[in-house]
């Protein structure tokens, strides 16, 4: 439902003081979201933020919209109910790598495969921050934490690859301290009809400081961020390196000077999922050149549209129905 009033960041900012550790990347994400929400033309009273457990769970308290702080991992399930029951609402899910990919993994993949009209922001700091530094589903192999004193032996999830595997219709990755890129990705996610999944690399300066320095650092970042732009050749590092097609259909990073221009991959967010999936697996983690931006965006009927269409067709056949007849019809018995 369009908002006819002129809104500002203040209209989406609650009276609650944000409480995260000083220097936490969550502050930057919150500021970016509050600032760009007025651009969407959706009133605060028609906006809902749903969160789970973790540092990201506090987000709902700082947005002056409707909000729901759910239990661990259940934010996508709760948000599915809200978005399906009232399609006029703009529904956002805020979650973390532990909340979304551990106990909430099942809810996340089903919300994506169903294409529920949700915007899911997953803050990935590769650690459990709220519970004081245990390893998470995205922590790298060998990660030494309080729960893995000899190093983690788990292979981590790649959230983008996971979302693509679940057939999400919009999948993107961005970084907490790049306000311009973060806002642009959020804007594209907001405009997408259906499930939009956005992984945000978020620094936890207490329990996992520096995990994304290769990409976040102002000196190193420009050399290692592979920025994906639809319709443009995938080049980075000041135009000196590229992603090219190699033997057997593989993608590899190479120097532009040593590459035939015809081999350089042109990004296509509407293309086959194989391209997006290969780009997601181009790096084995944020310690080497890594793709950021929108990996894939395609159109598909949303879950809410399908449900409401089914209800409308059922009513055409049988009218509004008779609850009493339904309850007493068929096989019944008296106890």
Confidence of residue 295 (pLDDT cuts 50, 70, 90): very high
Residue 68 near residue 48, CB atoms below 8 Å: yes
Q: Where are the alpha helices (DSSP H) in the chain?
A: 25-36, 59-62, 75-85, 97-98, 105-114, 159-165, 179-191, 213-216, 221-224, 273-280, 303-318, 323-328
Is 90 exceeded by the pLDDT of residue 181?
Answer: yes
Task: Give the pLDDT confidence of 76-104 residue by residue, as tens digits.
Answer: 999 999 999 999 999 999 999 999 999 99
3 state DSSP class of 183: helix
Count of Cβ atoms closer than 10 Å to residue 259 Cβ:
18
pLDDT in the model for residue 17: 96
Q: 13: which 2 tokens?
A: 């900012």
Q: How far is residue 261's CA from residue 232's CA, in Å, rounded to a whole number?
A: 12
Summarize pLDDT for 131-141 with one digit per residue, the tens.
Answer: 999 999 999 99
Strand 90-96, strand 119-124: pairing = parallel
pLDDT of 252: 96
Give the DSSP H/E element, type plus range, for residue 19: none
pLDDT in tens, 217-231: 999 999 999 999 999
Contacts of 330 (CB under 8 A, 6+ apart): none
Residue 2 pLDDT level (bands cut at 50, 70, 90): low
**Contact present, 243 and 264 (Cβ < 8 Å):** yes
pTM above 0.75, yes or no: yes
In angstroms, the CA 143 to CA 126 distance is 10
Distance of CA 123 to the CA centre of its chain: 8
Q: Tell me which of 3.30.420.10, 3.40.50.970, 2.30.30.90, 3.40.50.720 is the CATH number of domain 9-232+267-306.
A: 3.40.50.970
């Amino acid at each position: 439902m369009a908002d006819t009033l002129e809104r500002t960041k203040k209209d989406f900012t609650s009276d609650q003081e944000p409480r995260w550790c000083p220097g936490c990347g969550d502050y930057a994400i919150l500021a970016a979201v509050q600032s760009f929400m007025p651009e969407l033309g959706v009133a605060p009273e028609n906006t809902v933020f749903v969160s789970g457990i973790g540092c990201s769970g506090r987000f709902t308290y700082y947005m002056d919209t409707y909000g729901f702080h759910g239990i661990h991992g259940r934010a996508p399930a709760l948000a599915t109910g809200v978005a399906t029951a009232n399609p006029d609402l703009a529904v956002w899910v805020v979650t973390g790598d532990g909340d979304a990919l551990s106990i909430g993994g099942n809810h996340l993949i089903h919300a994506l495969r169903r294409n529920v009209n949700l915007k899911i922001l997953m803050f990935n700091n590769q650690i459990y921050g709220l519970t004081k530094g245990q390893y998470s589903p995205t922590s790298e192999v060998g990660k030494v934490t309080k729960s893995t004193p000899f190093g983690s032996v788990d292979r981590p999830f790649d959230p983008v690859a996971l979302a693509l595997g679940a057939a999400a219709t919009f999948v993107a990755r961005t970084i907490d301290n790049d306000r311009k890129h973060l806002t642009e990705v959020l804007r594209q996610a907001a405009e997408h009809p259906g499930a939009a999944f956005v992984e945000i690399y978020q620094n936890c300066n207490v329990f996992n400081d520096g995990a994304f320095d290769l990409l976040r650092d102002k000196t190193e970042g420009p050399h290692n961020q592979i920025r994906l732009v639809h319709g443009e050749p995938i080049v980075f590092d000041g135009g000196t390196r590229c992603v090219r097609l190699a033997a057997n259909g593989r993608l590899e990073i190479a120097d532009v000077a040593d590459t035939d221009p015809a081999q350089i991959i042109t990004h296509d967010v509407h293309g086959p999922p194989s391209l997006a999936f290969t780009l997601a697996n181009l790096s084995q983690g944020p310690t080497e050149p890594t793709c950021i931006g929108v990996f894939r965006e395609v159109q598909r009927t949303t879950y809410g549209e399908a449900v409401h269409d089914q209800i409308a067709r059922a009513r055409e056949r049988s009218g509004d129905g008779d609850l009493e007849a339904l309850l007493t019809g068929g096989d019944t018995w008296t106890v």
